[in-house]
Amino acid sequence: MYINLINHYVPELVILNSYFKEKNGLDNEWITKRTGIKERRKATLGENTETMALKVVRESIPLLPYNISEIDLIIGATYTPFDTVVSLAHSIQNHFNIKNAKAVTVTSACSSFVNAVEIAQGYFSMEKAKKVLIIASEHNTAYSKVSDIQSGHLWGDGAAAIFISKERVTPNDIKIIDVITKGLGNIGQASEAVHLRPLNGGLKMPIGKDVFINAIAHMVNILLEILIKNNMGIDDLNYLVAHQANIRILENIRKILKLSKDKMIINLDKLGNTGCASTPIALSENSNKFSKGDLIGVTVFGGGYSSGALLLKI
């Protein structure tokens, strides 16, 4: 599998930590120290999960090395949908008239993007698709309350578009060496620690400690698993992109893996937790930093719980 293009969009509206002092009593110093977040982006009036996705796809079309009509599978990835009937994938298909594509949307919290890549791999293996568009888009601020002292200050909005082909299309394609995912709904306090119940309070994280402990352990474990499976080690990585949830989680992962700071990609400080879009946004933002031959690891953890990892070769 090959990534032909990866692009991202974040809203223009910047919400600083100082905004929350009046809303939930937390000041800039506390939020920064506990989370690493200094600011985040918030969708403005008229923006939502769907419009952010449409914008990033629209901006990607001129950069794509083939016509978008060649896409034969669209996979939406989100846990904050604008519409639960007309799914994210179907809205993209409708807007761009991609008439020959299958369309499906997956939700596995912050692991959804990596799950989508694995679904693409399955369609390729079954010879049911050749070119896939994955859309990861999250409108976290629509489902969360800024007055929530436990997690209201964590969330940001954003979207990413990832175009993947079964065969190499251009010399600049990024090779997806491997992808693995795991369902972890049977561990810890998975069903209660972080949840989004639209009819019962929205997006909440009442048991953050359980999320914290399991996120560190399982993002480390699944990254090591995919490296060992491919006869590689941590020293082979040029960069690591981990789900952007909390700076203390990222620092613990880095120290456990004995990874130097310059190899850790971080956008959490400026974007907050953008859900399953966090890793593809980070990949897109840092594309100019990567050099030919670089090995990039991606590791994620999602509420519910779940985990996943990718190995990418530039």
Segment 128-183, tens digit of pLDDT: 999 999 999 999 999 999 999 999 999 999 999 999 999 999 999 999 999 999 99
Measured between its terminal Cα atoms, the distance across the chain in Å is 12
| CA dist 75 → 1, 66, 144, 235 (Å) | 15, 18, 25, 33
Q: Give the per-residue pLDDT at 23.
A: 87
Which of these is catalytic: 8, 110, 153, 276? 110
Q: Which domains does the chain have, with CATH numbers?
A: 2-165 (3.40.47.10), 174-313 (3.40.47.10)
CA-based diameter of the chain, in Å? 55
Secondary structure, 3-state, 1-55 = CEEEEEEEECCCEEEECCHHHHHHCCCHHHHHHHHCCCEEEECCCCCCHHHHHHH
Pairwise CA distance, residues 183 & 204, whole Å = 21
Asked about 243 being catalytic, the answer comes back as yes
| Among candidate residues 41, 45, 36, the one with its CA nearest the CA of residue 14 | 41
Q: Give the per-residue pLDDT at 213.
A: 96
pLDDT < 50 stretches in the chain: none
Q: Check residue 107 and report its DSSP letter.
A: -
Q: Check residue 113 and report its DSSP letter.
A: H
* Rounded-to-5 percentages of helix, strand, coil across the chain: 35, 25, 35
Distant-in-sequence, close-in-space partners of 142: CB < 8 Å, separation ≥ 6: 43, 48, 49, 80
Report the predicted TM-score, pTM, of the whole model to 2 decimal places: 0.96
Asked about 276 being catalytic, the answer comes back as no
| Among candidate residues 169, 126, 119, 134, the one with its CA nearest the CA of residue 2 | 169
Asked about 273 being catalytic, the answer comes back as yes
User: 231: left (phi > 0), else alpha (psi -120 to 50), else beta?
Assistant: left
Q: Give the per-residue pLDDT at 201.
A: 80
Q: Give the per-residue pLDDT at 198.
A: 86
Quick one: tokens of 51?
């419009």
Which of these is catalytic: 195, 214, 243, 276? 243
Pairwise CA distance, residues 168 & 313, whole Å = 13
